[in-house]
Amino acid sequence: MEVNGIPIVDVPTGQGASTASLAENFDNFLTLLTTQLQNQDPLSPIDTTEFTNQLTNFAQVEQVINSNKKLDQLIALQGGAQLSAGVSYMGKQIEAPGNVMLLQDGFGRIGYELPQSSERTTIAILDSGNNLVGFFEGNTQAGKHLFDWDGTDSEGNPLPDGSYSVLVTALDEDNNTIESSITSFGKVTGVELEDGKVTLVIGSLSVNLEDVQSVYDLPATPDEEA
């Protein structure tokens, strides 16, 4: 930006730097304008068109900076409100889509839903190495069901807390697979805010706040949820 051939430094990025630079340049501009007006030839006055344009430019830049500042404040307030909402889930058990069994304090739970009745439903639990550590019979009725696991393998040995994969297999009378949906349960142990999005930490997993399907106060049992 120039005024009568004299350069004025461009406004840099950043709220604080932008505001400070704009104020400094505007002060320089006013000093230059005042000096030229004081020393102008009365018989040949300075054309004020350029000064008017510069004043307009300064006003527009200032308006943009102030608008961006208010937008940043609004985003910060919104993020704070979302984070506060996420904190209210701390210590509670939530349900979200996923085929992971979270074993916490020796207790794990999943939900699964069958669109129709099956001839047989089985639930397989695998560890991080894809080793089968549990195999159970599931409900064959259409609808949503819960399955609780005490964290022991097929020989009754307790397994460490952590994440386990779950496979629910439902077959009809012709041995055809019936598609089923699975949900994971777990106790919220943390809340994170990143890029304006709140995620709930349950064990080793992170769940988006908008993906939560249900919330329970611990301890929750199937009888309490029926």
128-139 per-position pLDDT tens digit: 999 999 999 999
93-111 per-position pLDDT tens digit: 889 998 999 998 899 999 9
Q: Inform me whether the pLDDT recorded for 125 exceeds 90.
A: yes
Of 168 and 22, the one with more pLDDT? 168
Q: Which of 54, 87, 120 is the last residue of a domain?
A: 87
CA pair distance 14, 117, nearest whole angstrom: 61
Whether the CB-CB separation of 45 and 13 falls below 8 Å is answered with: no
Q: Inform me whether the pLDDT recorded for 11 exceeds 60.
A: no
Highest mean pLDDT (candidates 83-87, 120-124, 215-219): 120-124
Whether the CB-CB separation of 180 and 112 falls below 8 Å is answered with: yes
The alpha carbon of 144 is separated from its chain's Cα centroid by a whole number of angstroms, namely 28
Domain co-membership, 99 together with 189? yes
CATH number at residue 165: 2.60.40.4070
Longest dimension (CA), the chain: 107
CA-atom Rg of the chain in angstroms: 32
At residue 91 the predicted structure's pLDDT band, cuts being 50, 70 and 90, is confident
Return the structure tokens found at 19. 């505001």
Of 202 and 63, the one with more pLDDT? 202
Domain co-membership, 111 together with 212? yes
Average pLDDT, the chain: 76
- The average pLDDT across 198-210 equals 83
The count of domains in the chain is 2
Q: Inform me whether the pLDDT recorded for 36 exceeds 60.
A: yes
Range of the domain at 51: 2-87
The closest of 123, 200, 131, 202 to 161, measured between CA atoms, is: 202
Q: What is the pLDDT of residue 25?
A: 62
- Collapsed DSSP state (helix, strand, coil) of residue 208: strand
141-180 per-position pLDDT tens digit: 999 999 999 999 888 899 999 999 999 999 999 999 999 9
Domain co-membership, 183 together with 136? yes
Domain co-membership, 49 together with 15? yes
Domain co-membership, 161 together with 53? no
